[in-house]
Amino acid sequence: MTIMIGGDLKMPSMRLNGQIAVITGGGRGLGRACALALGQAGAETVLVSRTLSELQEVEDTIRAGGGIASSIECDVTDAGQVGATIGQLDRIDVLVNGAGINIPEPFLNVTEDHFDQTMSLNVKAAFVVSQTAVRCMRATGSGGVIINISSQMGHVGAPNRTVYCTSKHAMEGMTKAMAVELAPDNIRVNSIAPTFILTPMTEPFFEDQEFRKDTIDRIPLGHIGEMEDIMGAVVFLASPAAAMITGTSLPIDGGWTAW
């Protein structure tokens, strides 16, 4: 006997078949994980970064799994390059702003160059790429989704990360403002705020055992995040299952920001 529970309701799909997803920073770290996740969910992925060789590896991996992928070599801090590459795409359904940088150092040691590097990539580039994607989404009239890869540091503070925290708090504000303004176009904008995730960028930090212990002690679940931990979240936020979610941040932090 089949038991029908809520037979008039249908679980929204988390498949992304037929969708075109652009992922900046798609060649490594969290950007790579997002690209693989979206590809496995059925999206056609367009991978973007400055290093074509890294993108090729991800592209090959997606294709080996039966997906569709292509690569664009572009420095997203260069608005001209963004317009000449991403701006020439005929359609964008999903944008993941995954490119980012972190230069940990004491507040008084921060140089103007390091400040500019961090803000240029983490904030300005995400802003400019989003503008480019939204123009495309508006032209097709089919709406879209923008997912900003933020950080738990967009919600809290930490020593030696003043500039990074500044940039991620800015990204969180940008996410909310974009969500409100773009809602009439059926463009949803959200952020994902991971805790420390083991990536090529963060792995050197954890060679310091004192830092590693302090980090784990601050995470109620008691362990550092893995790249797989963000994969389900990015697919969920990109999918029809999140159709009513915009202007919010999804912490993937093991409870760090719940203290």
- Domains of the chain: which residue ranges? 20-250
Q: What is the mean pLDDT of the chain?
A: 96
Active site residues: 164, 168
Q: Considering only residues 6 and 92, tell me which one the structure prediction assigns the higher pLDDT.
A: 92
Angle between helix axes 29-40 and 52-64 (nearest 10 degrees) is 30
For 36, the 3-state DSSP assignment is helix
- What does the alpha-carbon distance between residue 193 and residue 153 come to, in Å, rounded to a whole number? 8
Q: Which two tokens stand for residue 240?
A: 């029809």
> What's the CATH number of domain 20-250, 3.30.70.270, 3.10.20.70, 3.40.50.720, 2.115.10.20?
3.40.50.720
Of 1-15, 88-102, 103-117, 137-151, the one with minimum mean pLDDT is: 1-15
Concatenate the DSSP letters of all residues of 113-161 into one string. HHHHHHHIIIIIIHHHHHHHHHHHHHHHTS-EEEEEE--GGGTS--TT-
So what's the pLDDT on residue 4? 53
| CB distance 37 to 238 below 8 Å | no
pLDDT tens per residue across span 203-248: 888 999 999 999 999 999 999 999 999 999 999 999 999 999 999 9
Listed in sequence order, the residues at least 6 apart from 72 whose beta carbon sits closer than 8 Å to its beta carbon are 46, 47, 48, 55, 85, 86
So what's the pLDDT on residue 1? 43
| CB distance 146 to 178 below 8 Å | yes
* Confidence at 8, pLDDT banded by 50, 70, 90: confident
Nearest to 153 by CA among 104, 206, 114, 223: 104
For the sheet containing 69-73, what is the strand order? 69-73, 44-49, 20-24, 94-97, 144-149, 187-194, 249-252
pTM: 0.95
Q: Which two tokens stand for residue 189?
A: 């904008």
So what's the pLDDT on residue 201? 72
pLDDT tens per residue across span 110-167: 999 999 999 999 999 999 999 999 999 999 999 999 999 999 999 999 999 999 999 9
Calculated CA dihedral for residues 35, 38, 39, 42, nearest 10 degrees: -170
For 198, the 3-state DSSP assignment is coil
- What does the alpha-carbon distance between residue 141 and residue 121 come to, in Å, rounded to a whole number? 28
So what's the pLDDT on residue 196? 95
Mean pLDDT throughout 168-193? 98
What residues pair up with 146 in beta bridges, in sequence order? 95, 189
pLDDT tens per residue across span 19-58: 999 999 999 999 999 999 999 999 999 999 999 999 999 9
Listed in sequence order, the residues at least 6 apart from 81 whose beta carbon sits closer than 8 Å to its beta carbon are 74, 75
CA distances from 148 to 47, 120, 223, 254 (A): 15, 15, 24, 19
CA distances from 124 to 64, 219, 238, 242 (A): 34, 30, 22, 26
Nearest to 68 by CA among 41, 88, 29: 41
